[in-house]
Structure 1
Amino acid sequence: MRELDDVGQHETVVEGGSAARAWKFLGTRWVLGLACAAQFMVVLDVSVVNVALPSIGSALGFAAADLPWVVNAYGLVFAGLLLLGGRLADVLGHRRAFVLGLALFSAASLAGGLAGAPGALIAARAVQGAGAALLAPATLTVLTGTFPEGLARTRALAVWTAVGVAGGAAGNLIGGALTEYLSWRWILLVNVPIGVVGVLLGAHLLPAGRGRARRPRLDIPGAVLATAGVAVLTYGLAQAESRGWGDAVTVGAAVAGLMLLMGFVGVEVRVARAPLVPLGLLRARSVGVGNLILLLTGACLIPMWYFLSLYMQQVLHYSPLRTAVGFLPHTLVTMAVGARLAPHLMRFVGPRPLIVTSAVVSAAGFWWQSRITPDSAYVDGVLGPAIVISVGSGLLLTPITTAVTSGVDPAHAGAASGLMNTTKQVGGALGLAALSTLAASDVPGVQALTAAYARAFQTIAVVLAAVAVVALALPRQRD
């Protein structure tokens, strides 16, 4: 039986059976909607907790050094298992990977929403990250398996990408509204009914996508070593805040994390038949230097939301919803500049000059942000720096992505993309742990808190200035 797809304008072969009849009835619009809804949830949960952090800390009795792990537990596991999740989507089949990933993500959201202690919430966020690492690649493979190459697939991927950007942008606003009008727990519990509906629809409507005849090998040891290494190293950096840099736990965790990462490199080079990261990729200067820039950039831009959220709520005494609205200039300016201005400028100057310039602009914005005081008004304490930071970061991300993926063999394009996303998330986790330690203060009062957050913003400015210097090592190229 053949039908005309009402979205992609192509014919799809439909086999007999109840699942096929449901697939025929709902059409590919439902597949696109389901994949996009799942991707929205995955990206949303990276940022949705930021505004709720003070409420979470008060409700569950979090120590200041442990609160960043509400963010990092999700980001680290998501980043560490993302490459493995992509391979599992091929092994399990698109439908099965989608359903399992969404079920795990939803169950962890329920556990996190009902958590009564810091450890339970952090564990639930880590399991959420594992589910997201399986679900996110599955949403993409569902689309590429449903829409044939050409205009139909291009349009579907454009919608999928836009939804991902919207999820990241909406996280602060949705988190603020739910926290203020319901409870912080609903930033996690809201995933549960959506996830249940998604699992039921996915099990009956999605094509099986049984994968290739020759299924890829799985580098599970590499994935475990990479995730554990970064998590233990991040834990060591975070412990320096309360224990000091010379403490045995701090030093031991940092050394153990580095040894695990060295073990990961050894597995990738000598053991793995299908390594998660083909190390030959890093021999290309654009890939190696580009990922170093991404690591440093992630260490600056991702922690920004954490410290600015705490500043607005703990120092300026904004409500969660007002804090979320306060973030809108960051979101809107970054999206507008990144989507419109950055591609236009790259036609004339290429990635390297644009990365250097935008890193300097971002550094200037963060230096302005570090001038905050307990009496700062919104215009000079948040809005003004936000515009400068957002112009810089909006111009920064597109050329970095171009630089990292340029000159890559098509056979390694997926690995290069996965490495890029992993590097950015790992940089954010390490940066948040290090900056939280640097911004720690034992002195009570808003004056001390403001000074602590100012130190974090000053450090970010310095690191972004270093990004401008590192970018000079990128090869010359035009878009």
Structure 2
Amino acid sequence: MSSAPLAQPADPPSAAADQGVGRPRVLAVLAAAQFAVVLSTSIVNVALPQVRDGIGLSGDGMAWVVNAYGLAFGALLLPGGRLADLLGQRRVLLTGLAVFTAASVAAALSASPWLLIAARAAQGVGAAAIAPAALSLVMRTYPPGPARGKALGVWGAVSGAGGAAGVLLGGALTEAFGWRAVFVAVAVLGAIVLAASVRLLSATPPAGHGIRSFDVGGTATVTLGLVALVYGLTTAGRDGWTDPRVLTAITVAAPLLALFALLERRYTAPLLPPRLLTSGAVAPANLVMALLGAVWVGLFFFVPLYQQQALGYSPLRAGLTQLPLAVANMIGAAIAPRLARRFGPGTVLAAAMATLAGGFLWLSRISANGSFLGDVLGPTVVVGLGLGAAFVQLTGAAVAGVPTADAGSAGGLVNTTRQIGGALGLAVLGTLATARTESAGFAVPHEVALTDGYRTAFLVSAGIVAVGALLTPLLTRRTTPTP
């Protein structure tokens, strides 16, 4: 495996990069913003049964409490990133945090299912502005070099830990205070981050000509196309690939996304500049990130299900057992930049993907009468180490070699590919797991059939990561930075 450096960023350090002592505080604020975004995707899952009983949700309504956030978030990341470029990252970040926090309050106060679902969609809108703007600010604050590697290590740690923390906090808050406490906690976190951002983040100049050059046509086509695609994929994971709604959604998404690609080549100031995909290792990094997203979402979906449905754990106990995974993820993310400086980013990424694949192979050996210590602890620690290291390296590659004017778009793109990859991965893994469980029928106890399905999902996850590992040489090519 080549250890040639991944493409190096070309953007100059901003004024914030010269703050010296102030940079750690800036990074802490931006990392907290990213943590809030990731946390809100998983913290609701454990509380869904209480939400259903407390507000009168149907089965489809429960799904929409989750999907409304994911749809808005995944579909609007590209526009959010482009607006950060055109209007300034700080302005877009503050706006996103304000929308996110207000929507969280609205969710906590919701008295009807449709209000809760609408509030969740609004949360997703705010998150779609936060994620790319915050990542772009990290890249502007830390110039190329070891400091940027450490910053991305922190970024990767909080991103990975957010999923596990959501399961833990969701279980604890729901059991202690009820489901509304979940949204109150997210609102409080959002308000704190917003206040800290106002105080600590300096203004960032826009890189474009303001809102007048915003690509309305591209935004409309990609947003509608991604909404249809994500809806089709999430519905497929629940109702099967032959469901009419799935087929209709995917049929609608394909021409819309094709039209978006055509418009981007003809528009003078496109939402997703074609030059971005030829900058550095952006294109292959996003491809591998989509594969990583596929197994990432599946991990935090199937492990708690196995523990609750096969091993009989309570939501709180299942959440507590995610702590070793979260710690391992943070360790992997923290040591990845140091290892990359010593052995080369390409070598570290390949090793991280191999570690991740090995962890999933180990997870595929779980049993229905197993235990946390015997079946879950070891493999999830291995998965966490690989996941944290791989995420840091891929995030750095996806935004390296990108001109300052496209930094927000690059951040939006890498978040979009992870989100779309997660939706596709969960749909495929869920379908395969369900098929394996149903094939067992009544020949074995139900918990055994369920476990067989989860083992299938983890085995396929190992294969997906192996494919990503084979693609890592594409990320080690040397490229000429774009001015």
Indicate the TM-score class for this superposition, using the shorter chain for normalisation: 0.7 to 0.9
The aligned counterpart of 1:352 is 346
CA distance in structure 1 between the partners assigned to 2:471 and 2:152 by the alignment: 32
Q: Could you list the per-position Cα deviations for residues 155-191 of structure 1 after superposition, in whole angstroms to 9, with x for gaps in the alignment?
A: 9978984895465563333222212211222211233
**1:183 and 2:178 matched:** yes
2:109 corresponds to 1:108: no
1:303 aligned to which of 283, 288, 298: 298
Match of 1:384 in 2: 378
Is residue 451 of structure 1 aligned with residue 452 of structure 2?
yes
Contact 1:238–1:436 at 8 Å: present in 2 too? no
Measure the CA separation in 1 of the matches of 2:463 and 2:150: 40
Q: What TM-score comes out, normalization by structure 2 length?
A: 0.77
Contact 2:329–2:388, Cα closer than 8 Å, also in 1: yes
Take 2:308 and 2:200, find their aligned partners in 1: how far apart are those partners?
Answer: 44
SS at match of 2:377: helix
Classify 1:394/1:190 alpha carbon distance in 2 versus 1 (closer, same or farther; 3 Å): closer
- Residues 132 and 415, structure 2, Cα contact 8 Å, conserved in 1: no
Match of 2:264 among 261, 264, 268: 268
CA separation of 1:247 and 1:402: change in aligned 2, threshold 3 A: closer
Of residues 349-358 and 291-300 in structure 1, the stretch that sits farther from structure 2 once superposed is: 349-358
Q: Please say if residues 290 and 400 of structure 1, whose CA atoms lie closer than 8 Å, have aligned partners that are also in contact.
A: yes
Deviates more, 1:418-427 or 1:212-221: 212-221
Matched, 1:336 2:331: yes
1:157-168 maps to which residues of 2 (within 5 A)? 161=155, 164-165=158-159, 167=162
SS at match of 1:275: coil
Q: Which moved more, 1:398-407 or 1:225-234?
A: 398-407
Work out which of the residue numbers 210, 222, 226 in structure 2 matches 1:230: 226
Distance 2:349 2:201 in 1: 41
Distance 2:389 2:137 in 1: 31
* 1:351–1:403 contact (8 Å) kept in structure 2: no
Question: Could you tell me which amino acid in structure 2 is paired with residue 356 of structure 1?
Answer: A
CA shift, 1:144, in A, is 9.7
- Answer with 97-106 or 30-39: which moved more: 30-39
Shift of 1:259: 1.8
Q: What is the SS of the residue equivalent to 2:467?
A: helix
Provide closer, same or farther for how the CA distance between residues 250 and 362 of structure 1 changes in structure 2, counting only shifts above 3 A: same
Q: In structure 1, what is the equivalent of residue 73 of structure 2?
A: 78
- Cα 1:269/1:359, change in 2 over 3 Å: same
Gaps of 5+ in 2: 1-15
**2:216 is the alignment partner of 1:220:** yes
Aligned-partner Cα distance in 2 for 1:156–1:333: 17
Question: 2:254 matched to 1:254?
Answer: no
Q: Output the CA distance in 1 between the equivalents of 2:89 and 2:230.
A: 33
8 Å contact from structure 1 (residues 268, 278) kept in 2: yes
CA distance in 1, matches of 2:290, 2:144: 33
Alignment partners' CA distance in 2, 1:158 and 1:242: 35
Determine if the alignment matches structure 1 residue 125 to structure 2 residue 120: yes
| Deviation readout 1:176-214 (Å, 9 max, x if unpaired) | 221221122221123345656777888899877785794
Match of 1:49 among 44, 50, 63: 44
Which residue does 1:288 correspond to in 2?
283
Contact 1:241 1:438 (C-alpha < 8 Å) held by counterparts = no
Shift of 1:332: 0.7
Q: Which fold has the larger relative contact order, with Cα–Cα distance below 8 Å and residues 6 or more apart in sequence? A: 2
Let me know the Cα RMSD of the aligned residues: 4.1
- Residue type of the alignment partner of 1:359: M
What CA distance in whole angstroms lies between the structure 1 residues aligned with 2:157 and 2:376? 27
Which residue number in structure 2 is paired with residue 436 of structure 1? Answer: 430
In structure 2, distance between residues paired with 1:361 and 1:238:
28
Change (3 A) 1:285 1:106: closer
Name the structure 1 match of 2:366. 372
User: Is the 2:104–2:184 contact (alpha carbons within 8 Å) kept by the matching residues of 1?
Assistant: yes
CA contact (8 A) 2:74 2:128 kept: yes
Contact 1:74–1:127, Cα closer than 8 Å, also in 2? yes
Does the Cα contact within 8 Å between 1:110 and 1:192 map onto a contact in 2?
yes
Q: Report how far residue 274 of structure 1 moved.
A: 2.0
- SS where residue 52 of structure 1 aligns? helix
Counterpart of 1:21?
A: none
**Amino acid across the alignment from 2:40:** D
